[in-house]
Structure 1
Amino acid sequence: MKVFKALGSVGVLTAAALTLAACGNSSSSNNDSGAKEAKKFSDHTKTASVKKGGTLTVAIETDTPFTGIFNEELSDSAIDSSVYQYGSESLFATDDNYKINNKGAATFKLDRKAKTITIEVKKGVKWSDGKQVTAKDVEYAYEIIANKNTKTSRYTDSLQDIVGLSEYHSGKSKTISGIKMPDGENGRKVVIHFKEMRPGMLQSGNGYFWEYAAPYHYLKDVPFSKLQSSDKVRKNPLFYGPYKLQKLVRGQSVTWVPNKYYWKGTPKLSKITASVVSPNSASQAIKSHKFDVIDVVNSQWKQVKNTKNVKFIANIPLSYSYLGFKVGKWDSKAGKNVMNKNAKMNNKSLRQAIAYAMNIDEVEKHYTSGLTFRVNTLIPEQFGKYYNSNIKGYNYNLKKAEKLLDKAGYKKKGKWRVQPNGKPLTIHLAAMSGSSTQEPIIQNYIQQWKKIGLHVVLTTGRLIEFNSFYDKVENDDANVDMFMAGWSLSSEPSPNDLYNEKAPYNFTRFVTKKNSQLLKDIDSTKAFNTSYRVKKFKEWQKYMFDEAYVVPTVNAYSITAVNSKIANYSLKPSASTGLWARVGYTK
């Protein structure tokens, strides 16, 4: 499973885009009319032949400057992914169920018996400087991820299944022994050897191998420790996708022009300009046709729904927002999460009570006409058989919340409850800024918790902008007891890279034997038997629901307003390869 930092407005994210998401795609209505309307929308514009040329303007919806790390191996923000999506392209194409096929920049062959995957980059797949993408470029991406000095959070427990990767990471080996280049570095073939083969490996986004290449010839002179801050990543990146970066106004806008070496032919548009717009200004921008492609902020749906000359397209993305409880720290030396059994939030009854006191259904019907909706488990419904429909989630129940607290010894002393040891209890909540409805929504929850006697205050006293929020959460800031964040997931349902002991993304830092075992079972060779894997997925969801270290809150319809003269824009997984090369203005 992959991540998106903060749940929010993201354009077409590649299938394997585990990124941190931004919160706040949350107008005022007491019904589900928005959801009913969104259900009728297509997930693509018309398919038609388009004319050459023209400039496409795209909105980047954020109330904070984008970071601008233009490299798949180093970036983990959904906002950055949306900014560089015009140049970036996965090695692999997929069908609409995210199964890898051979229609992309590279072919893919899995040999379960030999425990290998063979990747062959197609001839003519070139970087935007005209150089062929080579075997070394595929291998070098793994070096960036596994080298300790890059400090990237992409180095996960799942990738350590590649033979020799952890030895390279620890400095015991100067090369990754399990990645072979049979035709040499300048060849196009790579064979990756694994310790174990995993059931999700035929799906994009499985986390056990990387799905991108990095330009070795261009980046090799930059020390790993300086890669993330280098101009070659921040200002002048190379990609092998349809467009190349022409101009950057740091944190504010990007201009992309065609990559004349693009392997699928010259893109149709002459320019794509993507620029930052505040979520609070999105409805005005849609009504005034300021952008050709702009995401609808769900709380503004009623204001924009009757806009002429736009086509609304929609889907429910693979993502969710959640409430997480800090119960430990990340040990960077050991590369693992360490749980603190005495942590303030390490009480199951307290966590469950907090979840039961949230009136999510009422809030989302009021603010988003049902376009944002409560979710019950950490595996989205789109994953079909892997989704546990028996879990009803933490539906609003104040009486139940109070009973849980009473039984667990959180007694009331005056207005507020105290800890079972009699000490005062103040809970610090970190929450992100976003659209104008974010503040009232968070304040509503604080009032709900007050009703059950819990004293919850905002970390820093206010909502926190995206980058600072994740800085605090990732670095286990002492003033964060619980936090509201989101994931944009990849297209293989395994939750291993988000919630295991060695996952940097396991921001709550919970570690239990039972969780480790269930995650292992989900991705074991035994799980090649689908019914066994389904069973373990459902057990894991039930366990996570019971323990409530991470409580899923909402997902949302993602609606995009597209200029009605634009053709060939699609949200379908199978359309992602070369999408931007096909998009253009109708003749």
Structure 2
Amino acid sequence: MKATKILGSIGIITTATLALVACGKNNNANTTKKDFPAATPKKVSKQGGTLNVAVETDTPFTGIFSEELKDSQFDADVASPGDEELFDTNDHYKINNKGPATLKLDRKASTATITVKKGVKWSDGKQVVAKDLEYAYEILGNKKTNSPNYSSQFELINGMKEYHEGKAKTISGLEMPDGENGRTLIIHFKQLKPGMYYTGNNYFWEWAEPYHYLKDIPLSKLQSSDQIRKNPLYFGAFRVQKMTRGQSVTWVPNKYYWRGRPKLNKIIYQVVSPNSTSQAIKSHKFDVATVINSQWNQVKGTKNVNFIADIPLSYSYLGFKVGKWDSAKGKNVMNPKSKMANKSLRQAIGYAMNVDAVEKRYTQGLSFQVPTLIPEQFGDYFDKNVTGYRYNLKKANSILDKAGYKKKGKWRVQPDGKPLTIHLAAMSGDSTQEPIFQNYIQQWHKIGLNVKLTGGRLTEFNSFYDKVQHDDPSIDMYIAAWSLSNEPSQEGLYGEKAPMNYERFVTPENNKLLNEMDSQKAFNHKYRVQKFHEWQRYIFNEAFVIPLYNSYDVKAINNKITGYSTKPSQENNNHPLWYQVGYTK
């Protein structure tokens, strides 16, 4: 599963990757809480106009304009006018042939054939070719780039593991039958997987990189290069005109765009503080802005605005640090003696959280507690029998007592009698952040656990993830959020070789279940569903990650805008098809 870290603050889940529409598209999801349309009204549009889009963050966006190298949702958002992926999908995320490239899977030969359409050109006028597809895999798999999006799932490609480990200079499983300047790439796999018919599967990559533009840059310096940070090339509807690093990006039409001329003359993404978002919406400063859920009551009556929404494939979660990332071995290593290694402690912490009450108090019902790591939008893969960690202080106390966490004065001590202080890392955000996290800390205090904020305060977004990714010893547990892809395989997030397994949880049983849900047997849908259910029950019991909540992703859009949709069939790369967004006549 390809996933992107997002601002993991309560009531502020921002635009989510590959989001699923709330209205009328998914009978399995609990979408009856609110009634929002999924798209702006269909009207005749005119040519021209500037669209101002808000990026709601209290910190500069990183500005890594490369799918292989980025790991922030903010970067994904500001890049969206230009950053198309190779495939379009239907409303159930199954790949079709309407996008920039076509896909053909051959189970007998264990191959995937990707062919770029003629006329799909970079914004400098060069045709996207097979080498551009192949080069993206080099960036993804070479250790010199330190790509956060590489996972062991890609090692299903012949030769990828050897390339990643530096034992081979090329990836043997990537074939360009018509040469580097042809438009076809054949990928040879050890075997095909059931998720390969859908985007976000993490077995083959869905993006290209302009080899002719980047080839002279050493891979170790690619992320910091001007070609990635200042002047990226894309084959989408728009190209970068100018950029203020971390603050704004201005896009103008790509005159070579393969689908035709975009309606808009310009799209400007600009950072705005979450605390100022409601005022910005009410004053019509932006044409597109994501509603901060805690501010819904302040903005819901705004005139000349259409509110559209979906329930994204996202969740916030509480993660427990139980190991380290071993960079030499390229895998997570669990430490059975770590402070948070006792699952009883983790379970008690989960039961002590009053998540439902918090969401009702601060988000007016636009956020809601979720019971498992598999969202309801995944249909029958979601196990409705997993209840989740519902608030129960009595149960939390009982679990700690039985596990030997005895009280010594005000605080509980570890089973061996040593003092226990737990450090929680949490991100800064809008004005509700501090009271919400202090509320959780007070709940944990009620069961005798001495929990403190890491560093004594909330942590800025980029610093937070730097500490989490590098297993900073000042963090025992942390609250963050994932924006998910639409293929539910969990290997890329919680596998032994997944860098994004920030908890570093590794057990034989977890490995077994992750492998089974993507095995050849899993082409049988009933079998795959069974394994997903087994995994959810296992994760609930182990509690190394505790899912907290999901939120409606509500957009406030100028009522003169048409063509903006959250339907997967009307999106590419999790964002609207920007070429068809425009002002009404």
Q: Distance in 2 between matches of 1:183 and 1:290?
A: 50
Residue in 2 that maps onto 1:377: 372
What is the aligned partner in structure 1 of residue 507 from structure 2?
Answer: 512
Counterpart of 1:214 in structure 2 is 209
What's 1:257 paired with?
A: 252
Task: Label 1:12 to 1:124 Cα distance change in 2 as closer, same or farther (>3 A).
Answer: farther
Secondary structure of the residue aligned to 2:521 is helix
Which of the residues 458, 476, 494 maps onto 1:481? 476
Q: Which amino acid in 2 is paired with 1:319?
A: S
How far apart, in 2, do the equivalents of 1:517 and 1:291 lie? 49
1:563 is matched with which residue: 538, 558, 564? 558
Tell me the alpha carbon deviations over residues 33-61 of structure 1, each in whole angstroms, 9 at most, x when there is no partner. xx999721111001223111100000001
SS of match in other structure, 1:120:
strand
Q: Is contact 2:160–2:173 with CA below 8 Å preserved after alignment?
A: yes
Contact 2:454/2:474, CA 8 A, preserved across alignment: yes
Whether the 8 Å CA contact 2:366–2:552 is kept in 1: the answer is: yes
1:183-582 to 2 correspondence within 5 Å? 183-577=178-572, 579-582=577-580
Question: Aligned runs of 1:155-174 on 2, under 5 Å?
Answer: 155-174=150-169
Select 2:86's aligned residue among 76, 86, 91. Answer: 91
What displacement does 1:298 show?
A: 0.3
Query: Which of the residues 69, 74, 77 maps onto 1:79?
Result: 74
The answer on whether the counterparts of 1:135 and 1:187 sit within 8 Å (CA) in structure 2 is yes
- 1:264 partner SS: coil
**CA–CA separation in structure 1 for the residues paired with 2:549 and 2:495:** 22
Write the letter of the residue equivalent to 1:374. Q
Alpha-carbon contact 1:9-1:61 (below 8 Å) kept: no
Q: Distance in 1 between matches of 2:446 and 2:165?
A: 50
Amino acid paired to 1:90: E
Matches within 5 A, 1:59-138: 59-138=54-133
1:26 equivalent in structure 2 = none
User: SS in structure 2 opposite 1:385?
Assistant: helix
- The Cα offsets for residues 108-130 of structure 1, whole Å up to 9 and x where unpaired, read as 00001100000000000000000
* Secondary structure in 2 matching 1:4: strand
Contact 2:69 2:149 in 1 (8 A): yes
Residue identity opposite 2:579 in structure 1: A
The aligned counterpart of 2:24 is: none
Aligned residues: 569
Q: CA RMSD in A?
A: 1.3
Distance 2:16 2:551 in 1: 15
| Structure 1 residue matching 2:122: 3-state secondary structure | coil
Question: How far off its partner does 1:155 sit?
Answer: 1.3
Q: Does 1:585 align with 2:583?
A: yes
Length-normalised TM-score, structure 2: 0.96
Contact 1:372–1:554 under 8 Å retained in 2: yes
Distance 1:14 1:86 in 2: 15
What do residues 521-578 of structure 1 show as CA deviations (whole Å, max 9, x unaligned)?
A: 0000010000000000000000000000000001001100000000000011111137
Amino acid at match of 1:580: W
The answer as to whether partners of 1:12 and 1:571 remain within 8 angstroms in 2 is no
Q: Secondary structure at the match of 1:80?
A: helix
Q: Are 2:16 and 2:73, in contact at CA under 8 Å, matched by a contact in 1? A: no
Alpha-carbon contact 1:61-1:276 (below 8 Å) kept: yes
The answer on 1:5 being equivalent to 2:32 is: no
- Per-residue CA deviations over 1:13-41 (Å, capped at 9, x if unaligned) read 4579xxxxxxxxxxxxxxxxxx9997211
Q: Alignment identity in percent?
A: 67
* Correspondence for 2:27: none
Whole-Å separation in 2 of the counterparts to 1:37 and 1:179: 46
- For 1:13-92, what aligned pairs fall within 5 Å after superposition? 13-14=17-18, 39-92=34-87
For residues 222-243 of structure 1, the C-alpha deviation after alignment (integer angstroms, 9 at most, x for no partner) is: 0000000000000000000000
What CA distance in whole angstroms lies between the structure 1 residues aligned with 2:105 and 2:523? Answer: 14
CA distance in 1, matches of 2:238, 2:116: 19
Q: CA deviation at 1:76?
A: 1.1
Shift of 1:508: 0.4
How far does the alpha carbon of each residue in 1:438-460 deviate from its partner, in whole angstroms, 9 at most, with x for none? Answer: 11100000000000000000001
SS of the residue aligned with 1:324?
A: strand
Check the 8 A contact 1:13/1:82 in 2, yes or no.
Answer: no
1:12 and 1:517, CA in 2 relative to 1: closer, same or farther beyond 3 A? Answer: closer
C-alpha displacement of 1:10? 3.9
- Cα distance in structure 2, aligned partners of 1:536 and 1:288: 50
- In 2, the alpha carbon distance for the partners of 1:481 and 1:37 equals 37
Tell me, in whole angstroms, the C-alpha distance in 2 between the residues paired with 1:49 and 1:242. 20
Q: TM-score, normalised by structure 1?
A: 0.96
Letter paired with 1:39: K
SS at match of 2:5: coil
Q: Distance between the aligned counterparts of 1:468 and 1:149, measured in 2?
A: 22
- Mapped to 1, the partners of 2:31 and 2:516 lie a distance apart of 39
Q: Secondary structure at the match of 1:570?
A: coil
Q: Secondary structure at the match of 1:286?
A: helix
Partner residue, 1:30: none
- State the distance in 1 between where 2:158 and 2:453 align: 45
- Structure 2, unaligned stretches of length 5 or more? 21-29
SS in 1 for 2:252: strand
- Alpha carbons 2:414, 2:420 under 8 Å: kept: yes
User: Aligned partner of 2:425: which letter?
Assistant: A
The offset of 1:434, in angstroms, is 1.1
Q: Could you list the runs of 5+ residues in structure 1 that have no partner in the other structure?
A: 17-34
Deviations 1:162-195 (A, max 9, x none): 0001111122211110000000000001100001
Q: Shift of the alpha carbon at 1:478? A: 0.3
In 2, are the aligned partners of 1:165 and 1:177 still within 8 Å (CA)? yes
**Secondary structure class of the residue paired with 1:272:** strand
CA deviations on 1:458-513 (whole Å, 9 max, x unpaired) are 00110001100000000000000000011000000111100010000000001000
Residue 505 of structure 2 aligns with an amino acid whose one-letter code is F
- Separation in 2, partners of 1:450, 1:83: 40
- For 1:371 and 1:556, locate their aligned partners in 2 and report how far apart those are by CA, in whole Å: 6
Amino acid at match of 2:583: Y
Contact 1:12–1:576 (8 Å) recurs in 2 = no
**Aligned partner letter, 2:199:** S
